[in-house]
Amino acid sequence: MQVQLTNRQQHILWATVRHYIATAEPVGSKALIEEFDLGISSATIRSVMGVLEKSGLLYQPHTSAGRIPSDSGYRIYVNQLMKPSAALVKEVESTLQQRLPWDDWSLEALLQGAAQILATLSGCITLITMPQANTTQIRHLQLLQVETGKVMLIVVTDGYETHSKVVDLFPESGVNQLEAETIDRELQILSNFLNTSLRNYTLSDLANMNWSELDREFQSYGELLKKSLTELLKRASNPPTSQIMVRGVGEVLRQPEFSQVQQVQTIMHLLEEEQEQLWKLICDEPEIEETGQPKVTVRIGTENPLEPMRTCSLIFSSYRRGTVPVGRVGVLGPTRLDYENAIAVVAAAAAYLSEAFNYY
């Protein structure tokens, strides 16, 4: 939204947003004079607020009430008027490092701990997606003959998630006991070979491998491995909705915006029953970088395509392994949230989790 504001109009809009964020009460000229050193009269403030209302940046919830920011007003505030705090980003990163040392946590526990800390620091609902399969790396691979002629392929990822599949090794011909014992030995040797060769490969790397390059003694297993790993990739690439960690619901639902039971039910339904839509909204956003760093995306009110979120703001960014996005971290709260704080929290969390994933 392109709106040209004078310096005075910008200052009044900034002060109105700041006061409303802090109080949740409609803002009048008297409140602005008492809280901010604006250097102008009450009449002038009222006049400027009237102009901002006509521009669609403020509105009156009731005829006799003061004014509150619209979604467009918040957008101008976020894009042009607020000052991101580098000091706050460093403070949040320091808190995460002190309370979540990498050496003491598995990746899943690290994400859970980070989600809870972010919820406390932001006062918002925290959303963290588990690592997405196309960037997940192989930690361990094992081939086991679970019964005569049937082989289980087990893949353990760097997030300590396990994917497995049972396949018929020779479905068209029987396997006698002697052959089964030979297969057991071959599978163990092949497992050792694959762990040496494929550790730290992503599942998508495996899907694009040339399996004919396996050592000659293992070529008979090539088609089996290719087919099985491709199916595992397809399964893992459609992560269950439970892979969105949600924390801080109790904190945000105490905000006055959620005083109505219907509003609470709508948000809870989204978080509990419609996570697939939420996943798509967070993870399908095109990845954009600014000055070499992942961009923090801010969706305000009606900018959110999901109806239950039209009274909320969603702020999120990606955490990475190297330069590759691994997952998303974000906060969800009322449009009347402290954007400087929320953006700093998300930026710090994305940076911290990126460091952690490059460490493991």
How much is the pLDDT for 295?
Answer: 85
Q: What is the pLDDT of residue 2?
A: 64
The helix (run of H) or strand (run of E) holding residue 224 is: helix 222-236
Query: What separation, in Å, do the N-terminal and C-terminal C-alpha atoms of the chain show?
Result: 42
In the chain, the domains with their CATH numbers are 7-81 (1.10.10.10), 86-130+242-358 (3.30.450.40), 137-237 (3.30.390)
Of residues 303 and 158, which shows the higher confidence score?
303
Mind listing the pLDDT tens digit for each residue in 165-195?
887 765 555 556 557 677 788 888 888 888 8
pLDDT band at 77 (very low <50, low <70, confident <90, very high): very high
| Beta strands in 87-196, from DSSP E residues, in sequence order | 125-129, 138-147, 150-157, 162-168
Share of the chain above pLDDT 70, in %: 79
Query: Are 123 and 331 in contact, with CB atoms under 8 Å apart?
Result: no
Q: Are 128 and 114 in contact (CB under 8 A)?
A: yes
Residue 156: predicted pLDDT: 79
Q: Residue 335 gets which letter from DSSP? A: S
Q: What is the mean pLDDT of residues 255-260?
A: 79
**pLDDT at 116 exceeding the cut of 60:** yes
Mean pLDDT score of the chain, rounded to an integer? Answer: 81
Q: Is the pLDDT of residue 5 over 80?
A: yes
Mean pLDDT on 296-307: 92
User: Model confidence at 349, in pLDDT bands (50, 70, 90)?
Assistant: very high
Q: How far apart are CA 238 and CA 132, in angstroms?
A: 9
Q: Which two tokens stand for residue 207?
A: 């899907």
Burial-class residue 318 by CB neighbours within 10 Å (0-12, 13-18, 19+).
buried
pTM assigned to the model: 0.73
Distance CA(334)–CA(342), nearest Å, equals 11
